[in-house]
Amino acid sequence: MSTTVMRNSMRIILITTGKACALSVLMLSLSDRISSITGVSYIDSTSFAICAIIALLMTLLVKPMNDQTVRTGISIATLCLMLIWGGLVLLFWQNEASGTIPPSGLLLAYATIGRITTLAINFQWNTHISLSDDSESSKIAAASIALSMLIFMMSFCLDGPCALILTIAIGLASCILNIVVETSVSSNDDSSHSYDNVRESDAISRTSTDAVRRTRLLFFGSRMLYGLFLGSVVGLSSLAQPITLFEMPIAALCIATLAIGLIGSWFFFDGRASSYSIISMPLLVSILAAICFYSQDVASMTRVFVVMTEVVWIAQNMFQLSSYRKMTKTAPTSFALIEYSFQIIPFYLTAWVVTSFAGEMQGPLFSGDTLAIIELFNLGIIVAVATVAIARHIVRYHPMPSGGANAVDSKSLKENTLSIATLAEKYGLTPRELEVLEYLAKGYSRPYIAKMLFISPSTAKTHTKHIYAKLAIDSQDALISLIRDNANEQQHPIEKASLRVR
């Protein structure tokens, strides 16, 4: 058991680190910090259009993603693209030092490859996150957001080759860690978080696909609307000033605060308190970023507001991925790709249109302090939406296991699956009662079970009563204890028999 816990902790560390590196590259892109580092503009309207076409073509990978060879190939291809992009970044940095102007074709390739690589690595990490337990999502979301913010702020404390090396290093690190997690965890049947084991676990729900149409419409539709919103926000930010640090001591203090918060999130972000603590994360990280990059010239903070808009959205999105993968009944291998496509394609198209007409739009309304206030207003809207979304998700879909007995979590569920099946057969449980039993074993409440199985609360209550009556127990704690005792008897029958003889 301790080995399983240690392996799962290592998995969470790898996912947190890899996603944080991928997210920090995305933040450097949205803030246009990459342009400052390389000396070459990273905002190219044509690249947005090309990326939209490529992202649309990537949706053809939804079914092939079921094949492990295809998934591994995508991971390796992403690493190769990151190496190519890193080479272009080094080339442009060297050209800037020598005063050489790169060809327009290379400039377009630099912007396009960078964005497509960022897209690919982020959706792959979202795939791994979606395979996690609901109880792990708060820790992964909090720690990865804190670490990515830490890397992002540190990049502004570095100049020249140091900032360049940091940018390339975090991109390569994310790609390499993704290959490790893909091959050793997500595609490894020995892991309880593998695609096959997660798919098998999801299969216990026999709810028809028709029952989840509304959930899919609302979930994927909200991603599409956000993509349109973010595209316009990022497009307008092309008219803004570059981000700079005005007070290094304040930035250092913010970095130290994030480092302490990162450590705290790892050691203390467990249980019910962690889920409710993450409600405050959208507001807290926005305030911390505003303090770090504070300037009396509001116009210079425009891109800070843009970056935080995306960070706040990602915080609530990561927190909900594992739950909505189950509630939308989408294949674990392709859920994140579908979810990301609904967001990123509208984003690229909107950003392409807005950046193409940015010159004509420049004026009193979209420049200086006015533009900053508009972006701040947008950030305020997203903070409010994200906070409400997290709170609503916790209350309706993400309850922590409760009860005096320790619930059967993902680390032991695989060991107890046979026990649950034998109990269901022994006591004559119906298929629907078996579904309810699976969730009760994990410690979930009846309202949550009702929402996950798309049945009414009264029906969930009736099934629970029937289960308790058939098993001759009177509580959820007693049920969990019975499952564990039955599992122990099945795992050690000889030892049990020898003890009875003695």
Both structure tokens of 73? 């190939």
Both structure tokens of 462? 């009736």
Both structure tokens of 379? 């950030």
* Cβ atoms of 438 and 204 closer than 8 Å: yes
3-state secondary structure 202-257: HCCCCCCHHHHHHHHHHHHHHHHHHHHHHHHHHHHHCCCCCCCCCCHHHHHHHHHH
Domain end position, chosen among 397, 425, 455: 397
CA dist 311 → 4, 19, 130 (Å): 32, 12, 18
Residue 120, Cα to own-chain centre: how many angstroms?
13
* Cβ atoms of 370 and 361 closer than 8 Å: no
One domain, residues 479 and 391: no
Q: Identify the domain containing residue 493 by its residue range.
A: 410-501
Angstrom distance (rounded) from CA 309 to CA 379: 5
**Domain-embedded: residue 243:** yes
Both structure tokens of 333? 């291998």
**DSSP labels, 108-121:** HHHHHHHHHHHHHH
**Domain-embedded: residue 13:** yes
428 in the Ramachandran plot: left (φ > 0), alpha (ψ -120 to 50) or beta? left
One domain, residues 215 and 149: yes
One domain, residues 176 and 273: yes
**Domain-embedded: residue 276:** yes
CATH number at residue 471: 1.10.10.10
Q: What share of the chain is helix, strand, coil (3-state, %, to 5)?
A: 80, 0, 20
**Domain-embedded: residue 39:** yes
pLDDT for the residue 132 = 87
Length of the chain: 502
Specify the pTM.
0.84
**Domain-embedded: residue 403:** no
**Domain-embedded: residue 358:** yes
pLDDT for the residue 167 = 94
CA dist 462 → 14, 83, 140 (Å): 42, 58, 36
**Domain-embedded: residue 402:** no
**Domain-embedded: residue 196:** yes
Instruction: Single out the residue of 166, 147, 160 nearest to residue 12, CA to CA.
Output: 147
pLDDT for the residue 26 = 95
Question: What is the domain count for the chain?
Answer: 2
One domain, residues 21 and 49: yes
Both structure tokens of 258? 């994030």
One domain, residues 326 and 421: no
CATH number at residue 355: 1.20.1720
Which stretches of the chain score pLDDT less than 50? Answer: 1-2, 402-405, 411, 494-502
One domain, residues 155 and 208: yes
Domain end position, chosen among 343, 365, 397: 397
Number of C-beta neighbours around residue 485 at 10 A: 11
Both structure tokens of 62? 């939804």
pLDDT for the residue 189 = 66
Angstrom distance (rounded) from CA 9 to CA 110: 37
pLDDT for the residue 251 = 77
The enclosing H or E element of 64 equals: none
CA dist 169 → 8, 37, 153, 174 (Å): 25, 14, 16, 9
pLDDT for the residue 188 = 72
One domain, residues 425 and 365: no
Both structure tokens of 77? 């291809």
One domain, residues 380 and 437: no
One domain, residues 204 and 64: yes
* Dihedral angle over CA of 222, 226, 229, 235, nearest 10: -150
One domain, residues 318 and 440: no
One domain, residues 468 and 343: no
Number of C-beta neighbours around residue 218 at 10 A: 11
One domain, residues 384 and 458: no
Angstrom distance (rounded) from CA 91 to CA 78: 20
